[in-house]
C-alpha cells in the first residue's frame, strides 16, 4: 500500500489545464512560481523577451531623432527622453505579462470578460471625451497620462469571442456566432467613428480566423468578404481620410513624404546598416520612434537585422500554432489562435507599411515601437497567450512531456 504522504495532491488554486500535480514536482519546487516556471513554454517566452530587448535597442536608436523633431527650437526633450520612457514602460509591463500568465484559464477568461466590458465602455467614452491629433480622437486623457482604449480592448475581445464561439462545440444550436458578430459590428462602428480603420480591419480579420475554426461555412465567409469589400469602397468614396491614403498608395500622388523618407532609411542602411547612432535619414522621418521605427532599424542595423526581427515574429506565431496542434480544449484553441493571429498581423501590417506594401495605418510594431498604451496592452495580450499555452503533462502526453518523463 502506498504512503499517503507521497500521493498526488492538486493545489486548490490550480485548474487541470494550467497546473501540475504535486507528484510531478516531487523533486522540485511546488510553489505557484515553481508551477508557473515548469509549465510555461520557455521557447515562446524567449521569443517575447528577445523582441522586447530589440525594442529597447530600436527606441534608443530612434529617440534622438524623435526628440529633435518633437522638441522644436526650445529643445524640450533630451536625446534619450523616449528611451527612458520606454524602459519605464518595460518595467511596468513585464509584471503585467508575468502576472497574467500565472492565472489559471478560468480566471484568465473571467478577467478578459470583465475587461472587455470595461474597455468597451471606454471606447464609447472616446466619442464624448476623446482626445487626439490630425482629426482622429482615439485617446482618453487622465491626470498625468493618456491611454488608447482600443489597444487594451483588442486582446480581451479576442478571448471573449473565443469563449462565445467555443460554446458552439457543446451545443450547435446556440447563436453564439451571431452574438459575437453583432458585438464585432458594434466595436467596428465605434472604431470607425474615431476614425481608426486599421484597428477595425485587424479585429475583423482575427474574428474571421476564429469563426472559421469554429465552423463558419465558406459561403458565409465569402459573403462577409464581399460585404467588407463593398464597405471599403463606400469608405473610399465618402471618407477623405481613406481616399487620400489609398490614392497615395496606388498612384504615388499627393503628399508621400512619410513613406519616401522611410524608404530612404532602408536604402541608406543597406544590408548591414550604418551603425548604431550613425543614422542621418532618421532625422527626416516622421514618427521615427513609433509607426516608422522599422525604418530606423533598417538604416542603423541593416536589412539583415530587419529580417531577424521579422523571423522572431514568424517564429513566435508558428510556435503557438504548433503547440495548438494537439489542443483538445476549444476555448484555448480559439483564444490562443486569435491572440497569435492578432500579434502576427499587427507586426506584418507595420512592416508592410514601412516597406510601402500597404497604405499607412498608424499601427505600432509589437514590443518594439515606443508607446505606453501599446506596450502595456501587448503585455496583457501576451500574458494571456503565455497562460493559455501552459502545459499539464498529466492531461496529455505531448512530445515535451515524454522527454520530461524520460529524463
Residue among 125, 148, 110, 144 at smallest CA distance from 376: 148
Task: Provide the pLDDT for residue 40.
Answer: 92
Contact 45, 136 (CB under 8 A): no
Domain boundary assignment for the chain:
29-120+147-406
Q: Give a three-class secondary structure readout of 112-138.
A: HHHHHHHHHHHHHHHHHHEEEECCEEE
* Cα–Cα distance, 155 to 271 (Å, whole number): 35
* Cα–Cα distance, 163 to 217 (Å, whole number): 19
Task: Provide the pLDDT for residue 28.
Answer: 53
* Cα–Cα distance, 154 to 143 (Å, whole number): 24
Task: Provide the pLDDT for residue 377.
Answer: 95
Contact 118, 153 (CB under 8 A): no
Contact 215, 168 (CB under 8 A): yes
Task: Provide the pLDDT for residue 75.
Answer: 55
Residue among 393, 339, 289, 278 at smallest CA distance from 41: 393
Task: Provide the pLDDT for residue 45.
Answer: 95
Task: Provide the pLDDT for residue 74.
Answer: 52
Neighbours of 41 (CB within 10 A): 17
Q: What DSSP state is assigned to residue 253?
A: -
The pLDDT tens digits along the chain (407 residues) read: 444 444 333 343 344 444 444 344 434 556 778 888 889 999 999 999 999 999 999 999 999 998 888 776 455 678 889 999 999 999 999 999 999 999 999 999 999 999 999 999 999 999 888 887 666 778 888 877 788 999 999 999 999 999 999 998 888 888 999 999 999 999 999 998 888 888 998 999 999 999 999 988 888 888 888 888 888 788 777 777 677 777 777 766 566 788 889 999 999 999 999 999 898 999 988 889 999 999 999 999 999 999 999 999 999 999 999 999 888 899 999 999 999 999 999 999 999 999 988 887 778 999 999 988 899 999 999 999 999 999 754 444 444 434 433 44
The Cβ-side half-sphere exposure at 270, using a 13 Å CA radius, reads 4
Task: Provide the pLDDT for residue 326.
Answer: 85
Q: What is the pTM of this model?
A: 0.86
- The residue assigned the cell 483538445 is 328
Contact 332, 165 (CB under 8 A): no
- State the first-to-last Cα distance of the chain, in angstroms, to the nearest integer: 26
3-class state of residue 277 by DSSP:
coil
3-class state of residue 46 by DSSP:
helix
Amino acid at each position: 500500500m502506498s504512503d499517503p504522504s507521497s500521493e498526488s495532491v492538486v493545489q486548490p488554486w490550480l485548474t487541470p489545464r494550467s497546473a501540475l500535480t504535486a507528484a510531478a514536482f516531487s523533486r522540485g519546487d511546488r510553489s505557484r512560481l515553481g508551477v508557473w516556471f515548469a509549465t510555461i513554454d520557455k521557447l515562446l517566452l524567449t521569443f517575447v523577451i528577445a523582441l522586447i530587448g530589440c525594442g529597447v535597442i530600436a527606441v534608443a536608436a530612434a529617440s534622438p531623432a524623435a526628440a529633435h523633431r518633437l522638441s522644436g527650437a526650445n529643445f524640450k526633450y533630451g536625446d534619450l527622453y523616449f528611451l527612458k520612457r520606454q524602459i519605464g514602460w518595460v518595467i511596468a509591463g513585464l509584471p503585467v505579462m508575468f502576472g497574467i500568465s500565472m492565472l489559471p484559464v478560468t480566471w484568465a477568461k473571467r478577467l478578459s470578460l470583465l475587461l472587455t466590458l470595461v474597455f468597451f465602455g471606454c471606447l464609447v467614452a472616446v466619442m464624448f471625451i476623446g482626445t487626439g491629433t490630425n482629426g482622429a480622437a482615439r485617446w482618453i486623457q487622465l491626470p498625468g497620462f493618456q491611454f488608447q482604449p482600443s489597444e487594451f480592448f483588442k486582446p480581451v475581445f479576442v478571448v471573449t469571442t473565443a469563449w462565445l464561439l467555443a460554446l458552439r462545440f457543446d451545443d450547435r444550436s446556440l447563436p453564439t456566432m451571431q452574438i459575437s458578430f453583432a458585438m464585432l459590428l458594434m466595436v467596428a462602428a465605434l472604431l470607425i467613428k474615431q476614425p481608426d480603420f486599421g484597428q477595425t480591419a485587424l479585429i475583423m480579420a482575427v474574428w474571421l480566423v476564429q469563426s472559421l475554426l469554429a465552423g463558419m461555412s465558406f459561403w458565409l465567409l465569402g459573403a462577409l468578404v464581399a460585404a467588407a469589400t463593398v464597405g471599403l469602397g463606400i469608405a473610399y468614396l465618402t471618407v477623405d481620410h481613406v481616399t487620400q491614403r489609398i490614392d497615395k498608395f496606388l498612384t504615388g500622388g499627393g503628399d508621400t513624404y512619410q513613406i519616401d523618407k522611410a524608404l530612404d532609411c532602408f536604402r541608406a542602411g543597406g544590408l548591414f546598416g550604418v551603425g548604431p547612432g550613425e543614422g542621418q535619414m532618421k532625422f527626416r522621418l516622421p514618427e521615427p520612434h513609433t509607426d516608422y521605427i522599422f525604418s530606423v532599424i533598417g538604416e542603423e542595423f541593416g536589412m539583415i537585422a530587419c529580417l531577424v526581427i521579422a523571423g522572431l515574429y514568424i517564429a513566435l506565431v508558428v510556435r503557438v500554432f504548433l503547440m495548438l496542434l494537439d489542443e483538445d480544449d476549444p476555448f484555448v484553441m480559439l483564444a490562443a489562435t486569435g491572440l497569435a493571429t492578432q500579434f502576427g498581423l499587427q507586426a506584418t501590417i507595420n512592416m508592410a507599411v514601412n516597406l510601402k506594401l500597404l497604405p499607412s495605418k498608424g499601427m505600432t510594431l509589437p514590443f518594439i515601437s515606443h508607446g505606453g498604451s501599446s506596450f502595456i496592452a501587448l503585455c496583457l495580450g501576451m500574458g494571456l497567450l503565455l497562460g493559455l499555452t501552459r502545459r499539464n503533462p498529466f492531461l496529455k502526453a505531448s512530445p515535451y512531456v515524454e522527454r520530461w518523463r524520460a529524463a
